[in-house]
Structure formats: C-alpha cells, structure tokens
Amino acid sequence: MHAHDSIPEIALDWHRTGRGAVLATVVETWGSAPRAAGSQLAISGAGDLMGSVSGGCVEGAVVAEALAALADGQPRLLTFGVSDDQAFAVGLACGGTIRVLVDPVVADPGGQGLPESLLAGLVAARAARQPVALQVQPERWERRLGDARDPAVAARLRSDRSGSEEDGWFTGVHNPPLRMIVVGAVHIAQPLVQMARLTGYDPVLIDPRAAFGSAARFPGETILEDWPDEAMTALAPDTRSAVVTLTHDPKLDDPALLAALASPAFYIGCLGSSRTHAKRLDRLRAAGITEHQIARLHAPVGLDIGAKTPAEIAVSVLAQITQRLRQG
C-alpha cells in the first residue's frame, strides 16, 4: 500500500510507538473544496504529517488544533471557509468551505477520542482487503465500524463516496486498494504499470515468457510467470480490479479474458485492432461467451485520443479505466 493511502496505518503506528497520533478527516464540503469528503491527514505529536485535507491552505490550522487535541484528548469539528478573493492564493479555482473532524487516537475506549481498538479494527479490515467504513456521530462522539451488511454503508462503498447520512452519522469509506492486472509484459506495459501505481493501483504483470517479464524491464514490479488463466484464478479479480490484455497472442490473451469475464472485474480491456478484435470475438463466442459478457470488453483498448507511442497508449488505457471506475 502506498504511504499516501496508508493514513490509518501510519496513525496507529505513531500512537503505538508513543509519538501520539491524530486523524483529521474531511467530513463535509461546499463549493469548490480541494479535497473530497473522506480525505484524511495523520498528524503525530511531533507535527509529522501524512496525507492532506486541503490543497495546503488549512493544514497549518488543522495541525495546531491536532496538537491541542492530543493534549486534552478531545475531538474537534472545525469549519474552514475560503473566500473568492483568497482562492487563487491557495490554488483553488473559486471559493469553497470544508468541515474537518480532528480526532485524537486514545487508548481508553471510555474517552471521547478515537479508540485505539477501533482504529486497529479498521487497519485489520484494510489489510484483509475487506470494504469497511469508519462511522462517526459528532454530536455524541459515538463511533463504529460499518460494512456492507448495512444498506446505507453498502451504497457508499459501491459508489466509493464518503459522506454524512440524514441521521447525522458520517461514513468514511475505506475500500480495498485498486488493482490492475496486466497480461503481457510488452513495451506498452512499462509506462502503464508506472502510471497505474501513480494513480493508486497495485499493478501485477502476468507473462509466462520469462524474457518479456524480466525484472530489468520492470524493476520492483510483481511479475507472475504462470499461464494467464492459472494466474488470474490465483489473483481472483474483484470489483476493485481492472484487467488489461496486451500480448496479441490468442494462446495468452484468450485464457486471461475467459477468466476475467468469469470475475466481477470492473474493467476488461484488450489491445488490438478492430480486425484483430473481430477474430477474438469469434473465438470467445465459440468458447461459449455470451453477448452480455462480450459487452464488458473494451476493445480496441483505451480512449480514442489518437495515441501513437507506448506511453500515449498507456495514457489512453488509464483514462478509459478511470472513466469506467468513476462514471460507471
């Protein structure tokens, strides 16, 4: 998991090592707020920071309140307004307002702060790739972990949107990290896995051809040399997974696509021209794939932006995956 996505884990570590920790969370926004509800910032007792709740314009004030919260063990709900005449100076297109919950991590569940045990439960669920929500009722400072058994929480997990319910509970969504499974350690895969990592995905490469998937070409990346259908079965793509096939070789791409279509992966894309894809569809239909399943395939892969180079094609693929993730 990337450091900027590991805010609860970092806060728990700071607390347990005696440095003190505060978890600041954006719970409400109006206008052009720079960070969405659910955005988090961890602050240690020494003033160390990880994450953000704005474009930098309110962090200083949040840190001051966080240190005060550590001293008295009391949570705070802060409201920040950014007027239009200040907006340009802080990098906002126009004015916005945010409400930030500043929650000190406390050992005693009887206190008003965020209990260590609850934070540890959140961290454990995240480690197990379980969709979970940290819920807070600021009027009474009640807290709980919610999951998909609660219809309201399930709806927020599906839409990946944190926010407040009508009854005053704030639901902070913690979905498992996004994954990108790339079949074919070809030239396009090199920029694609780098871009995927930058945008918050955990990329995995599958290519049984050892010469292609060498560590020299993909330093630090996870490379599986199993046959694609076996590798896909082991990876078990879920609703937070995107699958991209790039080999052009039916012996590799087709088994991967059959496995991907049997999964709930939110995106499946295939490299190749329209003519190549037409032949691919004939093979998939012969293998029993339905028209409904075929409609899930994005091919030729990527948004049509006139991409020519491997890096430009990678941009078009990542853009299409983002469009599918965010717009459905």
Burial 247-283 (b: 16+ CB within 10 A, else e): beeeebbbbbbbbbbebebbbbbbbbeeebbeebbee
167 and 187, same domain (yes or no): no
Give the tens place of pLDDT for each residue, 137-159: 999 999 999 998 999 998 898 88
Give the CATH number, domain containing residue 194: 3.40.50.720
166 and 183, same domain (yes or no): no
Domain that holds residue 209: 178-327
Q: Which of 174, 194, 215 is the last residue of a domain?
A: 174
User: Alpha-carbon distance 85 to 326, whole Å?
Assistant: 32
Q: Report the domain count for the chain.
A: 2
User: Alpha-carbon distance 286 to 272, whole Å?
Assistant: 19
pLDDT the model gives residue 47:
92
182 and 165, same domain (yes or no): no
Give the tens place of pLDDT for each residue, 92-116: 445 678 889 999 999 977 778 999 9
157 and 270, same domain (yes or no): no
Give the tens place of pLDDT for each residue, 42-91: 999 999 999 988 877 788 889 999 999 999 999 999 988 755 555 444 44
Half-sphere exposure of 134 (CA within 13 A, CB side): 30
18 and 165, same domain (yes or no): yes
156 and 185, same domain (yes or no): no
Percentage helix, strand, coil for the chain under 3-state DSSP, each rounded to 5: 35, 25, 40
